[in-house]
Amino acid sequence: MSSPAPAGKAPAGAGRPGGSVSGKDVRLAAETWESLFRSQVAVMRRLQAGPAFKKLPVNEYDVLFTLARCPTGKLRLNEINDHVLLSQSSLSRLVDRLEKRGLVERSTAPEDGRGILLGLTEAGLELQKDIGREHVRDIAELLLPALTAAEQQELMRLTEKLRAKLPD
Amino acid sequence: MSSPAPAGKAPAGAGRPGGSVSGKDVRLAAETWESLFRSQVAVMRRLQAGPAFKKLPVNEYDVLFTLARCPTGKLRLNEINDHVLLSQSSLSRLVDRLEKRGLVERSTAPEDGRGILLGLTEAGLELQKDIGREHVRDIAELLLPALTAAEQQELMRLTEKLRAKLPD
DNA sequence: CCAAACTAGATGCATTTGCATCTATCGCAC
DNA sequence: GTGCGATAGATGCAAATGCATCTAGTTTGG
């Protein structure tokens, strides 16, 4: 909140070079978000129903996945929290559960005594890869018949751009 | 489960006319989904943080919204359930809460004694419009600076196509 | 017409979630 | 250095969620 503009009431046309925002623009944005949201829900519902997530809830898998894809293999809890749609406290307890199951390990962060570094254990990596294989198959089964490769490329490009241009 | 194909193990290349599925295809699909998912999470996180959803949790607003946009104004609970990422029992209790607050009304479905029709009350419609206005503003503030109108159109087209082509 | 299988929705109960708060560390001003 | 606001996580507790199950109405097969 260091912007000079009044919080929560950005001037119309913010971010558009000299343009003003029409009702049409606003409606298009709302419809686009609605569509993005619904398709995400629809795909997620089907993925969750698959057998891959009987072993581990989606949110918990997502943490394992995030750690597995990270180059260093370890992440701070607050970094993970940015990735996941969960409150800080929920993530803390989710990590408790993963730790109790021996899938991850907490370690204190060097250079910051407050921070906690989270890393996968051998078992955690194993389980992630196991679920991951099945998960990827399920995804492909849903997306391949629906969109061409070019369309998938474009969808990826647009969602990446959207995410990159979000504030903060 | 009436398909002759073995459940959970559709033949490679299902839905693609004569094509086979390469590892590349599978990877692209997985990356596309990942990107779609993350951008949805990122946008949703920011929307949830806004003041619009202090009055009503997102899931509950979503039900009001779904009812408001429905032509007849009334929907069966199971229809609503398809729209929302919630279990049947959770939706049932969510509707309990909305009903207790006087925002919706249950009525028995004609032609099916098991079914429940859900409709907005006057207060429910009012609140939906109220939150909706602010919500739409927030969405526009996030999307307009990130994507051009043409890009939004394309994103909407792709997500609609994806959703339309999902099984069942 | 009746019984068995199926579907829509509600409910008991354990688990998960979020809000508010607490503790500990950090960083900055003085 | 000392104090003070900010940040990283953990925790108490109430509320929300999901699974399994239950009830009731519907459809199907004989």
Task: Give whole-number Cα distances, B129 to A52, B14, B74, B123, in Å.
Answer: 40, 43, 17, 10
Distance in angstroms: CA B131, C1' D12: 32
Chain A residues with CB inside 8 Å of B84's CB?
41
The predicted-structure confidence for B110-150, as pLDDT tens digits, reads as follows 999 999 999 999 999 999 999 999 999 999 999 999 999 99
Q: What is the pLDDT along chain A (168 residues), one digit of tens a residue?
A: 333 333 334 444 444 555 678 889 999 999 999 999 999 999 999 999 999 999 999 999 999 999 999 999 999 999 999 999 999 999 999 999 999 999 999 999 999 999 999 999 999 999 999 999 999 999 999 999 999 999 999 999 999 999 999 998
Identify the segments of chain B with pLDDT beneath 70.
1-19
The ipTM (two decimal places) reads 0.89
Reading phi first (left if > 0) and then psi (alpha if -120 to 50, else beta), residue A58 is in alpha
A17-42 confidence digits (pLDDT tens):
556 788 899 999 999 999 999 999 99
Distance A20 CA to C14 C1' (A): 53
What domains can you pick out in chain A, each with its CATH number? 27-164 (1.10.10.10)
B46 touches strand D (CB under 7 A): no
The answer to whether the Cβ–Cβ distance between B136 and A35 falls below 8 Å is no
Which nucleotide is nearest to A86 if distance is taken from CA to C1'? Answer: C17
Report the pLDDT value the prediction gives residue A15, as an integer from 0 to 100: 47
Is strand D less than 7 A from the beta carbon of A74? no
**Is the Cβ–Cβ distance between A70 and A83 less than 8 Å?**
no
pLDDT one-digit tens code per residue, A100-122: 999 999 999 999 999 999 999 99
Report the distance separating Cα A166 and Cα B2, nearest Å.
Answer: 44
- Would the Cβ of B88 be found within 7 angstroms of any atom in strand C? yes
